[in-house]
Structure 1
């Protein structure tokens, strides 16, 4: 089979407590329902959920969502260690892709939806990001980064290598922005799998929106 792996990497630091994690937790069942009940989408995609704060952890290992009854919930505490997220993500992607290939699947480059509401509290996060972005990393993912609340637009742009978005705080609340983030992720998975099926795996293009309600797109040009 041809498989497109998606990773949702969410900030679980203390600043996300209350409406932040509540909005994501409310949206996860909808994401699960939309994808798991569409066989042509579920067959071609795999989904994983990673949470990070002081440390990072794999909350949901990469899976076919049609084989799960529900997704785990996020909880908020601790500080914002970007580095722990990037290190765990790199190792997890490498293990997951190797496992899929060993099963005989053709695997597309992984896609990461990264979300944070703050500024990294660790000093070495850029070196961990560099290892994730590095050309020598055979499975370096495409990263779509979203920033809400106090997130720094320049840092969110630096994390991304495909697309980046920052909350329009004067137009929507963080809770509304988070729901739109989850909806955008769901649509991207569905539309990408549909495109893959239509093309028969030939000339496939990742389907990610250029505009997301409540967010402004950011330039990824590096100077």
Structure 2
């Protein structure tokens, strides 16, 4: 008799890798590596949360497809360049969510939970037509619409952070402490996944050190 696998939370770590993030490139890579190490060292979390890493600048890139962290042999290396475009990112996320959820369901999971998207950005969108792709991504008529948690620092726009989030949005309170903001965001991600794995359901982060919450336009 084949054992039924546990629940699974498809998790997307989405990182702004536009040119303005170049000075933080090494830190981004170090903190992403830390995320992989911590999850990989916690079998309960790695079984519960499968992870995909997506970067976005002028165009979005899936630098790690949806994976069981225990089976990842090479951690993606992030490189920063280009502008900050949101529309192509949201279109890609909708496409990937459909594909990834199908694959996880086919893998015999007891349940595939609603996907969770964690977005880190230091700026505003440069493209003008991103609200349409966002609306398609968070459309309640699409049964796989994700939870979106946004984190902004530097020149990030509070109103935009609230618009792209569906559950929680956070803005760093000290614009001069950008490195601390990156580390705190990654720590928040890890804490959320650990708590969610322990509860066997998605637990929404409500406080992040160094950030304040901002109003979310779309609330489930």
Q: Tell me the TM-score range normalised by the shorter chain.
A: over 0.9
**1:127 correspondence with 2:127:** no
Paired residue for 1:201?
none
**1:21 Cα deviation after fit:** 2.3
Q: Matched residue pairs, number?
A: 212
Paired residue for 2:203?
207
TM-score (structure 2 length as normaliser): 0.92
Inter-partner Cα distance in structure 2 for 1:154 and 1:36: 35
Q: Is the 8 A contact 2:87 2:130 kept in 1?
A: yes
Q: CA RMSD in A?
A: 1.3
Match of 2:155 among 142, 145, 150: 150
Match of 1:58 among 46, 50, 62: 62
**1:218 correspondence with 2:197:** no
Q: Is the 8 A contact 2:16 2:120 kept in 1?
A: yes
Paired residue for 1:199?
none
**1:163 correspondence with 2:159:** no
Q: Is the 8 A contact 1:9 1:85 kept in 2?
A: no
**1:77 correspondence with 2:81:** yes
4+ runs deviating over 3 angstroms: none
Deviations 1:171-210 (A, max 9, x none): x6111100100111111111101111xxxxxxx3x22321
Runs of at least 5 residues in structure 2 that lack an aligned partner in the other structure? none
